[in-house]
Amino acid sequence: MGIIENALTKSEAKSVKKLSIIAFSGDFDKLTAVFTLATGAAAVGYEVNIFFTFWGLDAIKQKRGRAFVGGNWLTKLFGFLMGGVKVAPNSRFNFLGAGPRIFRHLMRKKNIATLEELMEAANALGVNLYACEMAMLVLGLEKKDFIHEVKDVLGVATFLRISEGGETLFI
Amino acid sequence: MTHTLDITQEHCPMTFVRTKLKLAQIEKGDILEVLLSEGEPLENVPRSAEEQGFKVIAVEHVEGPVHRVIIEK
């Protein structure tokens, strides 16, 4: 009986259209992939959750450029070197920061949504943004350092519960 | 009331995003006419609208690659 109940719960859970993305990278191109998938899925009716961890946290910082955000001199230095979404580097062909600017130019020219537009759309579509508690502490950040769209600061157990029954991607 | 949305110049994922946001804005019973291009938008915009409980009244060819999808909220 227990097995049948378990199987039913699992099949019911599978019918929920849900996409959860672990955004580990703070790279411009990978964040563009994260928000393209997130907005596309949300637009066709999926519940979408993005769990930002490690360098991915750069995408949700309030300070979008370079700023000494952090708890002590070391994390503040890290915060400055990493910067926010505006200075996110490319994973390839970064050309000392010129790469993302070239990409933004190409995207605008081809009428393809830029990372900033995708992030705005994600907000309008109700995509759930979460920050990883552990990475936040390591990098000396606090919830107030993140954009107000960030719904909560979570640990692994809560993320697993939220993502249960859907697809999960690691980018 | 009838609303129109032209996504012929948009690309993935904004084709779906603009349609979804427009459908969220309009009132229940309103009609949305979406102008879109053949290929992925034509294949998926009507399907995803139906999956989300909207009624696709018609899919018409306009000219060249452009089609009109009429959706009732």
Q: Which residue has the tokens 């378990």?
A: A6
B49 to chain A: closest CA residue: A44
Rounded mean pLDDT of A87-112?
91
Dist CA A13 CA A169 (whole Å): 17
When pLDDT is cut at 50, 70 and 90, the band that residue A51 belongs to is very high
Q: Which CATH architecture has domain A17-170?
A: 3-Layer(aba) Sandwich (3.40)
Cα separation values, A65 from A76, A85, B38, Å: 14, 7, 40
Q: Percent of chain A beyond pLDDT 70?
A: 91
Contacts of B14 in chain A (CB under 8 A): 39, 112-113, 117, 121
Please give the pLDDT value at position A77.
86
Rounded mean pLDDT of B3-14?
95
Count the alpha carbons within 13 Å of B5 in the hemisphere toward its beta carbon: 25
Q: Residue ranges of the alpha helices (H) in B1-71?
A: 14-25, 40-51
Please give the pLDDT value at position A8.
43
Verify whether the Cβ–Cβ distance A39 to B13 is below 8 Å.
yes
Verify whether the Cβ–Cβ distance B17 to A39 is below 8 Å.
yes
Verify whether the Cβ–Cβ distance B19 to A43 is below 8 Å.
yes
Helices (H) and strands (E) in chain B, counts: 2, 4
Q: Please write the tens of the pLDDT for every residue from A59-68.
A: 999 998 888 8
A44 to chain B: closest CA residue: B48
Partner-chain residue, chosen from A111, A118, A125, that has the shortest CB–CB distance to B9 = A111
When pLDDT is cut at 50, 70 and 90, the band that residue A15 belongs to is low
Indicate the average pLDDT of chain A: 89
A118 burial type by CB count under 10 A (0-12 exposed, 13-18 middle, 19+ buried): buried
> Which residue did the predictor score with more confidence, A1 or A102?
A102
Please give the pLDDT value at position A7.
44
Verify whether the Cβ–Cβ distance A113 to B14 is below 8 Å.
yes
Dist CA A43 CA B14 (whole Å): 9
Q: Note if the pTM is more than 0.90.
A: no
Please give the pLDDT value at position A74.
87
Contacts of A43 in chain B (CB under 8 A): 13, 16-17, 19-21, 48
Q: Which of A47, A59, A18 is nearest to A125 (CA)?
A: A47
A126 to chain B: closest CA residue: B21
Q: Please write the tens of the pLDDT for every residue from B26-72.
A: 999 999 999 999 999 999 999 999 999 999 999 999 999 999 999 99
Give one DSSP letter per residue of A43-71, joined into a string.
HTT-EEEEEE-GGGGGGGBS--S----SS
Contacts of A40 in chain B (CB under 8 A): 12-13, 16-17
Count the alpha carbons within 13 Å of A81 in the hemisphere toward its beta carbon: 8
Tell me, what amino acid is at B35?
L
Domain-wise residue ranges, chain A: 17-170
For residue A130, how many other CB atoms are within 10 A of its CB? 23
Contacts of A126 in chain B (CB under 8 A): none
Cβ-proximal residues to B52 (8 Å cutoff; 6+ apart), any chain: A44, A45, B20, B23
B10 to chain A: closest CA residue: A111
Verify whether the Cβ–Cβ distance A45 to B51 is below 8 Å.
yes
Which chain A residues touch B if contact means CB-CB below 8 Å? 36-37, 39-40, 42-45, 110-113, 117-118, 121, 124-125
Please give the pLDDT value at position A71.
83
Which helix (H) or strand (E) segment is B63 a member of?
Answer: strand B55-63
Q: What's domain B2-72's superfamily in CATH?
A: TusA-like domain (3.30.110.40)
Q: Which residue has the tokens 């490319």?
A: A90
Dist CA A154 CA B73 (whole Å): 36
Structure token digits, residue A139: 């990098």
Q: Please write the tens of the pLDDT for every residue from A113-169.
A: 999 999 999 999 999 999 999 999 999 999 999 999 999 999 999 999 999 999 999
